[in-house]
Structure 1
Amino acid sequence: MQTIAYHLEKRIALGAIRSQFESYELIKREHSFLLYKITNNSYIYIKDYGSVVFMNCADDFIHQTVRFLINKEKSVINNLPSEKYQISFSETIEVDFGTIQIKELNDDVAHIIMLNLAQSVALMNYVNKTSDLHDKTLVYSKQLEKTGSFKLSKIQMRKFIGKTMNLKNNIAENLFVFDSPDVAWNNKDLSDLDYKLKDELDIVKRHQGIENSLNVIKENLDLFNDILQHKYSSMLEWIIIILILFEVIQVIVEKLI
């Protein structure tokens, strides 16, 4: 069985979509997610921060659901961040190289697998956005290294700072704690599966890496901002000096006349 997760790069209003899934069995729900059973071994998991996970679902159903959730007629599914894992059955629980081995599939097992994949694909989206910001700031860092200056206006600087802060706020709002379902604490197999999924997907380490990258970007932007402030302060000082000099010259000319 295949499980695939997508991040839609937008928040999902769960209340607004429940009416569209009334024909499916809603087996679990909280303020931040909905878990539906499509058939006996088929599930869909929708997380409010923009992740949707399909387990053992037909391709047509996946494409149709994604189009509905992002409110577009044409499919853009190939451009979305995604994670794909194959599920097989074994006497032991293992997670490795795109495969998840489980003893049996039930609602709790599906919940744990789909929650971890939802978090992972959301992190992938944030990693992509962080890398994009880092690449843009790197351009100005290289300009500063080569020429001692950089081509960046105050408005562009503020936009960069705003994007960085918004990205940090989104991560803090959506992924500030990587919770495990309560059932994972009461069942050894479920706890083992949850731990191995988090370890394989590097969820905590990737989150820390994003935070560190954003802090570096913020430090660079603060430095650029200080340089710009000094540049404008120096320009204002020269303007004042020129104005004073002009006044002095004007007074001298008036006295000579």
Structure 2
Amino acid sequence: MNVKKLISYLTCEKFEKEVFKSIEERYKCNIIKDAIIINIKENQEIILFNYGVLISWNVEFENIKFFMDFIKNFQVNSFEIPFIEELNYTFESEFKINFDTIYLNDLSSISKIAISQALSQNVKLDQFEKEVQTSIENNSNIPLQLAQTGKIKLTKKEISKKIGELFLVKSKINLHYDLLDTPEFFWEYPEYENQYEKMIKYLDIKSRVEVLNKKVEIIQELLHVLGDEQKHRYSSFLEWIIIILIAFEIVINLKDHFW
């Protein structure tokens, strides 16, 4: 059995629009819907998606490194450490996935793109999961502070920054949530959707998305808590201003009365 490497890379938030044109000028390739399939050498292909993902089909290390260096200038918000997932693939009469090996019954470019759609969603979901989990962990002391002291030990500026950070994470997930839906690619190639669905099931995408939704809800609750605290502090500030003004007016009136 001739087993080959199948590696998914998420290197940045997205690629600039010009990346497809530059790849076309340098490599033999073909653009199909939102993907471009690049022929590196015989039986070595890279499938690139504009949202920062590239899938390496049996590409040698030197060739993938050269390609990644080539597209580096087109990356937007590059990650210091890329998200990487490795699988194997081989050819067999029936399509199936078992023990991190994909058994392909079709080695066509369309079939590879169909499978790559699921693999690209998998690494993009890795990114979302890490960012949401990191955000929750970094702010886990806020509910603890409320439970122990009844208040949040942050300045007004720090609260505003926390609200901004949490909102950025939440809005990023919401804005790019469509990347986790069934791609439009399968409207034109419905005969390959079964392969995609089997990959999605194997990678546990749907249940992971449900967990991600729950974690985004936690971030929303943290936003509510911080927002309420900010409003409370502002209203308390106004109350003290009013108290001081009333006290000042009383002092002035007493002064006028006795003097």
TM-score, normalising length: structure 2: 0.85
Match of 2:12 in 1: 9
Gaps of at least 5 residues in structure 2 are: none
- In the alignment of these two chains, the number of paired residues is 250
Please tell me whether the aligned partners of residues 5 and 88 of structure 2 are also in contact (alpha carbons under 8 angstroms).
yes
> Residues 234-253 of structure 1 correspond to what in structure 2 (within 5 A)?
234-253=236-255
Displacement of 1:58 after TM fit?
0.9
Match of 1:215 in 2: 217
Secondary structure of the 1:37 match is strand
| Aligned AA (1:118) | S
Match of 2:123 in 1: 121
| Aligned AA (1:158) | I
The alpha-carbon distance between structure 1 residues 226 and 113, as it changes in their structure 2 partners (threshold 3 A), is: same
Match of 1:110 in 2: 112
> Residues 82-121 of structure 1 correspond to what in structure 2 (within 5 A)?
82-121=84-123
Gaps of at least 5 residues in structure 1 are: none
Greater share of strand residues, 1 or 2?
2
Match of 1:163 in 2: 168
Secondary structure of the 2:140 match is helix
1:24 pairs with one of 22, 27, 35: 27
Cα distance in 2 for partners of 1:40, 1:109 equals 17
1:200 pairs with one of 195, 199, 202: 202
Match of 1:181 in 2: 186
Displacement of 1:179 after TM fit?
4.3
Cα distance in 2 for partners of 1:131, 1:251 equals 59
Secondary structure of the 1:116 match is helix
| Aligned AA (2:18) | G
Displacement of 1:178 after TM fit?
4.0
Per-residue Cα deviation, 1:24-44 (whole angstroms, up to 9, x for no partner): 3323332x3212222342211
Displacement of 1:78 after TM fit?
8.3
Please tell me whether the aligned partners of residues 95 and 103 of structure 2 are also in contact (alpha carbons under 8 angstroms).
yes
2:70 pairs with one of 55, 68, 71: 68
| Aligned AA (1:144) | L
Cα distance in 2 for partners of 1:103, 1:203 equals 23
TM-score, normalising length: structure 1: 0.86
Per-residue Cα deviation, 1:157-210 (whole angstroms, up to 9, x for no partner): 431343134323332354454445356523xxx444222101011222222322
CA RMSD of aligned residues (A): 2.4
| Aligned AA (1:211) | N
